[in-house]
Amino acid sequence: MKRRGRFITIEGGEGTGKSTLVDGLRHSDTFSDAVFTREPGGSPGAEEIRALFVSGDTDRWDALTELLLINAARRDHVMRTIEPALAAGQDVICDRYLDSTRAYQGVRGVDRALIDNMHRQTVGLSPTATLLLDAPPETGLARAKVRAGPDRFERMEGGFHAALRTAFLTIAQAEPKRVTVLDATRSPAQTLADALDALI
């Protein structure tokens, strides 16, 4: 019987280096055959929802509407991209997943029980392992400003980003066997080495 692949998620606040780490993992020997994907997005339908989700004014959607949108996108993503790859024995590495929903929409006022219950009912898949990139919000936001066209979450006020960091660290403290916290103030090469050590 074919080995089921590992489902690895990369989490963190804005500008913590998730995309850089994902690119480093993609070019590593360890994960040369893995499937790399992202959320919101990762399938044609989910990418269309992503365009709605991340663009526009910061108050374009309330938090509950965001939760509904992200679960619709996630269900399509899991069904069409993630689950087939795992079943075929490939590792899947995803830039953001359920913990981002818990943090972002949780900070914006959605009850954690509702978030988790909706995930169980509509998606169900949990990560095998999670890497959480942690950095002070001011560090991450300074990095994010270098990128062209900040999205609606990057434009939210600073208190939101401080609360977001706390929310992610609270998740990590509650699930230490699944979540490994990495110091995202280190260089990309050092962060990649830390990530590979955690995953091998």
Q: What is the pLDDT of residue 67?
A: 94
* Percent of the chain predicted with pLDDT > 90: 76
Closest CA to 167 of 123, 115, 118, 101: 101
Average pLDDT over residues 24-28: 96
Task: Please state which CATH number belongs to domain 7-199.
Answer: 3.40.50.300
Closest CA to 67 of 123, 11, 13, 119: 119
Q: What is the pLDDT of residue 149?
A: 55
- Long-range residue pairs from 28-31, CB within 8 A, at least 24 positions apart, any chain: 28/192, 28/196, 30/196, 30/199, 30/200, 31/91, 31/93
Q: What is the pLDDT of residue 161?
A: 85
The answer to pTM > 0.85 is: yes
Name the residue ranges covered by the structural domains of the chain: 7-199
Average pLDDT over residues 18-44: 95
Helix axes 98-107, 63-77, angle to 10 degrees: 170
Q: What is the pLDDT of residues 145-190, one digit of tens each?
A: 655 555 556 555 658 889 999 999 999 999 999 999 999 999 999 9
For residue 31, pLDDT over 80 is answered with yes
Residues 6+ apart with CB under 8 A from 11: 18, 96, 97, 99, 100, 103, 130, 131, 132, 133, 168, 179
